[in-house]
Amino acid sequence: MLLRHQPVAVEMDGDRVAAVTLRDAESGEEVVCHAAYVIDATEMGDLLELGGVEHIIGAESQAQTGELHALPGAPDPLDQQAVTWCFAVDYLPGEDHTIDRPAMYDFWRDYQADFWPGKQLGWLDVHPITLETRHRAIFDGATDRLNGDDFWHYRRIFYRKHYPDGLYPSDITLVNWPQIDYWQAAAGRQRRGAGKTPGGMPPVESLLPLLDADRGPAPRRRLRLSWRAAAP
């Protein structure tokens, strides 16, 4: 395993990647790697550009692929999965973990994209298949039940009931929800114009204060940031 290396060149043999040159970020030394299979797992598809590999971004059309759920009409290269900064939280009744409202909080609290059924930091979203508007709360019942349709169960990654009673104080769920999708980079340019696209952090930092801060003047934070990871 080569740590702290980045690809700087790709050698092609027709439509096949023959070799990838990696550069050590600390020493500057380069190494050429050959493999039977090369997988581009970079965040931005670096090898595609370096190798001049044919590729398409965004959503293809039904006319191009014949796929049932592809776009009718023309393809849309900016119809892409939004960038998301995921984080994990636990739920601790009786404790207060309220954080200060971050910069841009007021903007994100009130923001609604023209293609979304409600405010982004709200509980309305769309069904991924039917595209019908639906209400989906963070809690719709007991948090420690085995299954549920709320957001808490949607991305729960740790279930304390799998362990002896009292060993862990809470389940842990990964906040990987539409509320933290950062649409501004692409959608702002295409749908609203660059002049209406604000700076500042994506809505991830505004979601946690919103969950409780707008319910009343008294601090009632029960959710605690367990750990945080940046991911596309």
pLDDT digits (tens, 9 = 90+) for 46-98: 999 999 999 888 999 999 999 988 999 999 998 887 778 888 999 988 888 87
Structure tokens at 18: 């023959």
Rounded to 5 degrees, φ, ψ at 154 are -55, -40
Answering whether pTM is above 0.85, one says no
Q: Kindly list the domain boundaries of the chain, sorted by start residue.
A: 5-51, 83-228
Predicted confidence (pLDDT) per residue in 135-185, tens digit: 998 899 888 899 999 999 999 999 999 999 999 999 999 998 888 888 775
Residues 6+ apart with CB under 8 A from 162: none
The answer on pLDDT for 30 being more than 60 is yes
Q: How far apart are the first and last CA of the chain?
A: 23
Give dist(CA 100, CA 219) in Å, integer. 11
Q: Which residue matches tokens 């039917």?
A: 130
Mean residue pLDDT across the chain: 82
Mean pLDDT of 200-207: 62
CB 163 within 8 A of CB 172: no
